[in-house]
Amino acid sequence: MNGVQEDVFGELRTTFRSGRTRGVAWRKAQLQAILKLLAENEDEIFDALKQDLGKHPVESYRDEVGVVKKSATNALRCIEKWMAPQKGRIPLAFFPARGAIVSEPLGVVLIFASWNFPISLALDPVIGAISAGNTIVLKPSDLAPKCSSFLVNTMPLYLDPEAIKVVEGGKDVAEQLLQLKWDKIFFTGSPRVGRLVMSAAARHLTPVTLELGGKCPTIFDTLSSSSDLQVAVKRVAGGKWGPCNGQACVGIDYVLVETQFAPVLIELLKKFIKRFYGENLKTLENLARIVNKHHFDRVHNLLKDPKVAASVVYGGSVDEENMIIEPTILLNPPLDADIMTEEIFGPLLPIITLNNIEESIQFINSRPKPLAIYAFTKNDSLKEKILQETSSGSLTFNDAIVQFVCDTLPFGGVGQSGYGRYHGKFSFDTFSHEKAVLHRSFLIELEPRFPPWNNFKMEFVRLVYDYDYVGLMLLLLGLRGIFRRH
């Protein structure tokens, strides 16, 4: 174990035990500091994202800076309400008594951020941990080195350096951090690494939140209205290639559509790809690049299978030097090929045709539970079947990705796509322990002397538990003297 990591952990534990982070003033000050950090360093953030991922400033603001601003602003507005004890209803059997649910911070938490949204997926969980009153270690991804360096160098200038630390490094540093006994671990990344994190956490019985991924399907029903169809295809094109050029855990992985409707969908997708991103590889714009050579080769290799290559109906060109892959549409690639069994995490979009759109439910259920399902349909019956017969982290009708930025809805996976949830109040809850608090009175007491009133007392207690209403409370008061005498 690296002594530096132990020293960092020890300082954070000392700070937490001092109680400084529990007060609302400290929490608000840190949230305001995050907003100030963003406002004063926006251009530097844009530059780091451009260098790491080739993101356009508009994309960087939409998916990174804007997301964090919205989250911090919402937390500032709601923090006192979130912190307030919730009144708990107490059964008549405990009368007179009162109860409450008090949210308390977990302690010292570890947050692993991901490389595809290296600012928002780092700071958004930090906002939740701060709101709940914890001390924090943030480990940015080393695959986005400029953004990682920015966070390491900038956050201590704005946030409490004795309560919030940023630790840079690769796999070895992550392994060292996982040896420590944290009060909570929050991880965003792949299922493969998520298993390692959960295994390490299990040694200390540390609770975890795992924000993973999976193959998120889109069900595209026949839409008779031309305007509805145009909007739907625009949203598919934007949801697939807009966020980090398909390198998004919640992005569209493949589309399910009826056979006779596939040509219409493909032609419209081609139209909007050209309008949004350009005609060919040399004129592409508004698209992030593949993060590094390893991931470029991984995505490119998905296309090298001859049967997969034969299914390409649009795109497929690559620029290895600049690590760019053109938006690519594939029609019915082999279902046993890697492109249909592994998460794509890139700009390739398989379209799978079905005889009937309701077959999509069986298709989805035959695979691991996805992080999200998107369904474009106006058929209420189909909507209800999808809702009732599939399981996913989230389900969005007639749009894609937008549920991720909705603070009033929880975001998280199920099964292989993740464990736990966050965003808005759900982030606060994720980094809090809800403690039950019960206040009893000395006014009423049933003495544990049963004979000769054994049967009567048993029936009375049974009534108290089975019929919890005010009349029994009055009866309890009236019989108080009898119980004390006998």
| Residue 144 main-chain phi, psi, to 5 deg | -120, 75
Q: Is 249 a catalytic residue?
A: yes
Amino acid at 166: V
Q: What is the dihedral of CA 358, 400, 338, 328, to 10 degrees?
A: 110
Residue 268, Cβ density class (10 Å: 0-12 exposed, 13-18 middle, ≥19 buried): middle
Q: Is 211 a catalytic residue?
A: yes
Residue 130's closest CA among 37, 33, 14? 33
Point out the catalytic residue in the list 147, 216, 244, 249.
249
Tokens standing for residue 284: 């592409």
111: β partners: 138, 186
Q: What angle do CA 269, 270, 272 make, to 5 degrees?
A: 65
Residue 41, Cβ density class (10 Å: 0-12 exposed, 13-18 middle, ≥19 buried): middle
State the Cα–Cα distance between residues 464 and 272, nearest whole angstrom.
67
Point out the catalytic residue in the list 59, 64, 147, 211.
211
Beta strands (DSSP E) in 4-125 are 86-88, 97-105, 108-112
Active site positions, annotated = 211, 249
